[in-house]
Amino acid sequence: MATPPIIIIKKKGGHGGHHGGAWKVAYADFVTAMMALFIVLWLMNSSKQLQVAVGGYFKDPTGTAKKVGTNQSGSGENFQLTKQNLAELKEQLQRNIRSINDLEKLRKNIEMTVTAEGLRIELLESEKGTFFDSGSSALNKSGTEMLVLLAEELGQVPNHISIEGHTDAKPFAERANYGNWELSSDRANAARRLMQQSGVRADQVSQVRGFADQRLRNPKDPLEASNRRISIIVQYVSRDSADDDKEGAEVEGSKGAAQKEEGGAKEGTEQAAAEKPRSE
């Protein structure tokens, strides 16, 4: 009698839970959290200028606002700041100042007012010197950080700006032949130089003026520290003037094209006359 065949059945066991895909989701979450942690640590140890730059990137990743005021196609009227929307610029600047701890404590020394001239930004001095060293045109750390922040924002708009320097009525006797007129002018120019190095365009500054003690903020107390200040005026951009400039450019372009066509026709006539055979 034949031996019956022996049939062996092997069952393939399933893999343990660690071979599934759930761990990948948890690992991805862990890596993302670590990346966010290191970015925060990096930003906490970076300079204020870098923090402002990174914040500006996340506010405007496409860089559209950077085109404002340049000659690039795409910079347009939508970004021109008129009397109606200068108040929005004021609110934006105030938000940016509040976002930086070192500048937040200086809010009482910063005044922003929409006036008949435009948006007036005033950096008010204190008895100890808030933005400038006392009796000097040298900017201190707070003054440098504030003007850099303002320059980065104002450099993105097409509006012209003017910068004014003011002093109190106390005679300046530190040096001979150097008084409040010279000090106010030097402070205004120091602000201009730093702002142009930090984002304000070279052709954007229309005026730099020193008024000494002729335009006191508090005439009732001519010696009050807040009379010493730097004023930055963001001037209005009139849409009518912008349209006139655009129309003028189109007229100039039309004139140029007409002159070019006229010159080409004249040249063709002269060439034809030269090629015509002479009669014997």
In a domain, 198, yes or no: yes
Identify whether the C-beta of residue 102 lies closer than 8 Å to the C-beta of residue 96: no
Give residue 1's pLDDT.
Answer: 59
Average pLDDT over residues 204-213: 96
In a domain, 195, yes or no: yes
Give residue 187's pLDDT.
Answer: 96
Total number of domains in the chain = 1
Q: What is the DSSP letter of 236?
A: -
Please give the residue that has the higher pLDDT: either 260 or 96.
Answer: 96
Three-state DSSP class for residue 102: helix
Sheet holding 161-166, edge to edge: 110-114, 118-124, 229-235, 161-166, 205-210
In a domain, 201, yes or no: yes
Give residue 229's pLDDT.
Answer: 96
Identify whether the C-beta of residue 218 lies closer than 8 Å to the C-beta of residue 226: yes
Q: pLDDT over 70 for what percent of the chain?
A: 66
How confident is residue 74, by pLDDT bands cut at 50, 70 and 90? very low
What is the average pLDDT score of the chain? 77
d(C-alpha 271, C-alpha 264), whole Å: 11
Q: Encoding tokens for residue 219?
A: 């005439």
In a domain, 184, yes or no: yes
d(C-alpha 146, C-alpha 27), whole Å: 43
Q: Which residues are registered as beta bridge partners of 119?
A: 114, 234
Please give the residue that has the higher pLDDT: either 174 or 155.
Answer: 155
Give residue 138's pLDDT.
Answer: 93
- Residue spans of beta strands (DSSP E) within the chain: 110-114, 118-124, 161-166, 205-210, 229-235
CATH number at residue 229: 3.30.1330.60
In a domain, 263, yes or no: no
In a domain, 44, yes or no: no
Q: Which residues are registered as beta bridge partners of 118?
A: 235
d(C-alpha 7, C-alpha 51), whole Å: 74
Identify whether the C-beta of residue 50 lies closer than 8 Å to the C-beta of residue 206: no
How confident is residue 42, by pLDDT bands cut at 50, 70 and 90? confident
Provide the domain limits for residue 186: 79-241
Check pLDDT > 90 for residue 172.
no
Please state the φ and ψ torsions of residue 236, each to the nearest 5 degrees. Answer: -65, 150
In a domain, 166, yes or no: yes
d(C-alpha 106, C-alpha 85), whole Å: 25
How confident is residue 280, by pLDDT bands cut at 50, 70 and 90? very low
Cα distances (angstroms) measured from residue 143 to each of 29, 132, 146, 166, 200: 42, 6, 5, 15, 16
Give residue 71's pLDDT.
Answer: 38
Q: Residue 167's closest CA among 218, 117, 201, 91?
A: 218
Give residue 83's pLDDT.
Answer: 67
pTM: 0.58
Cα distances (angstroms) measured from residue 15 to each of 109, 198, 258: 69, 61, 83
Give residue 88's pLDDT.
Answer: 82
Give me the DSSP letters along 45-98. Answer: TS-HHHHHHHHHHHH-TT-GGGGTTSSSTT--GGG---TTTHHHHHHHHHHHHH
In a domain, 264, yes or no: no
Please give the residue that has the higher pLDDT: either 98 or 217.
Answer: 217
d(C-alpha 22, C-alpha 82), whole Å: 56
Average pLDDT over residues 49-54: 67
d(C-alpha 108, C-alpha 58), whole Å: 28
Residues 6 or more apart whose CB falls under 8 angstroms from that of 107 comprise 97, 98
Q: Residue 236's closest CA among 79, 76, 82?
A: 82
